[in-house]
């Protein structure tokens, strides 16, 4: 399977390491032989139709901070040039999420689909701003569009809702979809101020380079859009979300929740309306998880409420979700 990889940060490198460590098993068990023919980052690219060497790519990136030193050929091609001039089976989009105009991910995805490539995205920007039209474009071009890593990282939240609860009518859901804010609020419950808890989260590398994505609830809102569209069949985008972050949460708010035998969490919910905001959760509620965990409760018409809990982010976890999507695509192709 010929693959083009957009972006070579933590997730991209984790994926390549996963390909290397599991290549024999992937072929023996699933008949999957991932051939990475092009990778690009913000500074350049590496292209080899016969397949780039996984370990060498990671070493070059570590040494030079870019993949363009992999070889002298085609190393200045932009992502768009690669997608227009090189044929592949699958595009994997891992560039940073941008909630203003979703670029460059949006152009990468639409260009690939128009060329007949299947697409796997862990970039939430395009889905948050244009989910309905991207699904239409994928259908029109008869390609598969997978994005299980956009919500819950390695925890298969989207697959669970769509497949494990298939045949059920999900009437509402609510959950913690951002591990960073959960970590900050958990620390505040131990007595730290917002500033102290934020500093600790930054020191541990949990906070996005643009901290407003976490603190203002934008990341959680983007995931809520994806869930509402995918699970509930809605046609919504970011402007449809009523969103409040955690910047104004005080120690007094935390103490008030404590008095009510509750904890304060940033909850994304889909009921009568789509809302992201701080909310008191009873301590015994399954959603009352601490640290960087994510948790989401789906309420169904017949089977009641079921909660799924897991790690929300991390390079290896997100890479495992990409691999899961890749295997799904491989199986679908094999059926034809």
Which amino acids are annotated catalytic? 223
The alpha carbon of residue 217 and the mean position of all alpha carbons in its chain are separated, in whole angstroms, by 15
The tokens for 235 are: 């046609």
Who's near 178: CB < 8 A, 6+ residues apart?
214, 217, 219, 220, 223, 266, 294, 312
Quick one: CA torsion of 270, 274, 275, 276, rounded to 10 degrees? 80
E-assigned strand segments in the chain? 2-6, 35-41, 44-47, 90-93, 118-121, 145-146, 170-176, 242-243, 262-270, 274-282, 293-300, 304-311
What whole-number distance in Å separates Cα of residue 12 and Cα of residue 123? 12
109-142 in b/e burial notation, b at 16+ Cβ within 10 A? Answer: bbbbbeeebbbbbbbbbbbbbbbeebeebbeebe
What sections of 194-299 are H helices per DSSP? 194-203, 212-215, 218-232, 251-259
The tokens for 306 are: 């079921």
The tokens for 184 are: 């900050």
């Amino acid at each position: 399977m010929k693959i083009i990889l957009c972006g070579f940060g933590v997730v991209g490198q984790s994926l390549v390491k996963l390909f290397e460590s599991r290549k024999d098993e992937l072929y023996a068990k699933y008949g999957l032989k991932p051939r990475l023919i092009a990778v690009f980052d913000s500074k350049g690219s590496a292209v080899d139709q016969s397949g780039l060497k996984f370990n060498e790519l990671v070493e070059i990136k570590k040494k030079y901070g870019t993949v363009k030193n992999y070889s002298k050929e085609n190393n200045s091609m932009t992502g768009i040039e690669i997608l227009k001039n090189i044929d592949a089976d699958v595009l994997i989009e891992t560039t940073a999420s941008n909630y203003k105009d979703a670029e460059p991910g949006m152009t990468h995805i639409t260009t690939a689909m128009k060329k007949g490539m299947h697409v796997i995205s862990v970039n939430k920007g395009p889905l948050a701003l244009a989910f309905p039209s991207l699904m239409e474009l994928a259908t029109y071009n008869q390609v598969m569009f997978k994005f299980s890593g956009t919500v819950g990282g390695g925890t298969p939240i989207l697959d669970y809702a769509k497949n494990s609860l298939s045949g059920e009518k999900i009437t509402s859901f609510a959950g913690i979809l951002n591990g960073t804010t959960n970590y900050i609020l958990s620390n505040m419950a131990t007595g730290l101020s917002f500033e102290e808890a934020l500093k600790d989260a930054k020191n541990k590398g949990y906070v996005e380079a643009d901290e407003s994505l976490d603190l203002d609830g934008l990341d959680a809102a983007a995931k809520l859009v994806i869930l509402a569209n995918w699970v509930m069949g809605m046609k919504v985008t970011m402007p449809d979300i009523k969103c409040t972050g955690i910047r104004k949460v005080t120690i007094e708010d935390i103490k008030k929740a404590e008095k009510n035998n509750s904890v304060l969490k940033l909850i994304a919910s889909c009921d009568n309306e789509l809302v992201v905001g701080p909310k008191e959760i009873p301590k015994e509620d399954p959603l009352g998880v601490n640290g960087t965990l994510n948790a989401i409760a789906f309420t169904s018409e017949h089977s009641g409420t079921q909660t799924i809990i897991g790690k929300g982010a991390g390079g290896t976890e997100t890479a495992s979700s990409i691999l899961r999507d890749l295997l799904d695509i491989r199986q679908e192709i094999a059926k034809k």
